[in-house]
Structure 1
Amino acid sequence: MLVVEQQRGRMNANKLKQYGEDQWRAKPDKLNAELFVMTYGALVMQLVQDYEDYSAVNKELDKMGYNIGTRLIEEFLSKNPEVKCKNFNDTGEAIAKVGFKTFLNITPEVVHNGSNEFTLVIEDNPLNQFVVLPDTAIREGLLYSNVLAGCIRGCLEMINISTTVDFLSDELLGQESTAIKVKLIKYLEEQVPSDDM
């Protein structure tokens, strides 16, 4: 039975990967990647100058990502009605193979750590192009791509999934790859506004 479930999971992951590829090719409004990367770099540099504290910059990048994610999920759901997730593992596969592919043209590897946690491993983080962090930023733990963690958290919260999203490693900090751990806290109850009752 386990083998059948694993094969189904692989088939689902393969279908999602192909679906993500199709979505990327069909997307007419692609932004020039280099322009995006340089604009993001300028934003991070400005935050570093404004805050002069890397932990505050990390928090601000997470907050910005969260706000982006709460809006990005609407576009994702409207353009991808075929994507259905039965459990948290499926959610990880959909984020990697459809979400990241659609919006960043990358497909992170998904490493499942049980049924309530997964790690997204990005071999070549597109946000890290053209970037070399100063030694002080490395020492003090600047999470240059922390906007991604916030974005994932914001997207999931909008579909009633409360998570923690943390960086395990970052290429810019001298590690082999960028790894982002997503851990399920709980499924949130859908709240109906009092006006709708």
Structure 2
Amino acid sequence: MSRPAHRRPEYHKINKDLFVLTYGALVAQLCKDYEKDEDVNQYLDKMGYGIGTRLVEDFLARSCVGRCHSYSEIIDIIAQVAFKMYLGITPSVTCNNSSKNEFSLILEKNPLVEFVEELPAGRSSLCYCNLLCGIIRGALEMVHLAADVTFLQDRLKGDSVTEIGITFLKKRDEKKYRGKK
């Protein structure tokens, strides 16, 4: 029996609270397994990278976004579509330099820290949500965009907002992406 062609596949959503609590348990276990915050941060980034390389296919299939022609378009898609689709939030975007290859995503609310009041004692350099940086970096790499993604500010460290910095490492060849005249 074949499936009707007009039906879209169903996507099952995980309960947000379950995901956030599971992520918290994962970070807590990593803190027990690794003495240094840098090792935990690196592991979270590596996990996120693996997720991002796979998540980009789902994102492109479900979002139906077209080709982007500038870094600012890419960042807007990440903020307005991807974050909304997967985390239910829309961060604000700022451009940090005149060459328009450095951007910040400012999260007023970070769902991954919903049940976290502060970092564990003695873990001041822990980037609790470093998984997000890895996800963004992995997804961008899968669409052939090398980027450096880091946390610039973190509410868990006493900052007023959570800010993720994204720096595109290669200058896009604009001629390659221009439409024919």
Is TM (by shorter chain) over 0.5?
Answer: yes
Runs of 4+ more than 6 Å apart: none
Compared CA separation, residues 60 and 188, structure 1 to 2 (3 A): farther
Which residue identity does 1:123 align to in structure 2?
E
Output one character per residue of 1:63-89: Cα deviation in whole Å (capped at 9) or x when no partner.
Answer: 000000000000011112234311111
Match of 1:73 in 2: 56
Match of 2:122 in 1: 136
SS in 1 for 2:123: helix
Compared CA separation, residues 62 and 148, structure 1 to 2 (3 A): same
SS in 2 for 1:89: helix
Output one character per residue of 1:106-163: Cα deviation in whole Å (capped at 9) or x when no partner.
Answer: 100011124111100001111111112123112xx10000000000000000000001
SS in 1 for 2:67: coil
Unaligned runs of 5+ in 1: 1-26, 190-197
Unaligned runs of 5+ in 2: 1-9, 174-181
**Within-5 A mapping of 1:19-38:** 29-38=12-21
Q: Which residue, 3, 26, 42 being the options, matches 2:25? A: 42
SS in 1 for 2:126: coil
Match of 1:85 in 2: 68
**Within-5 A mapping of 1:137-176:** 137-138=123-124, 141-176=125-160
Question: Alignment RMSD, CA only?
Answer: 1.7
Match of 1:186 in 2: 170
TM-score w.r.t. length of structure 1: 0.78
Output one character per residue of 1:38-87: Cα deviation in whole Å (capped at 9) or x when no partner.
Answer: 00000001111111211100000000000000000000111122343111
Which residue identity does 1:127 align to in structure 2?
L
Match of 1:119 in 2: 104
Q: CA offset at residue 28 of structure 1?
A: 5.3
Give the Cα separation in 2 of the matches to 1:33 and 1:143: 21
Q: CA offset at residue 188 of structure 1?
A: 8.6
Bigger helix fraction: 1
Give the Cα separation in 2 of the matches to 1:118 and 1:84: 19
Compared CA separation, residues 113 and 48, structure 1 to 2 (3 A): same
TM-score w.r.t. length of structure 2: 0.84
% of aligned pairs identical? 47
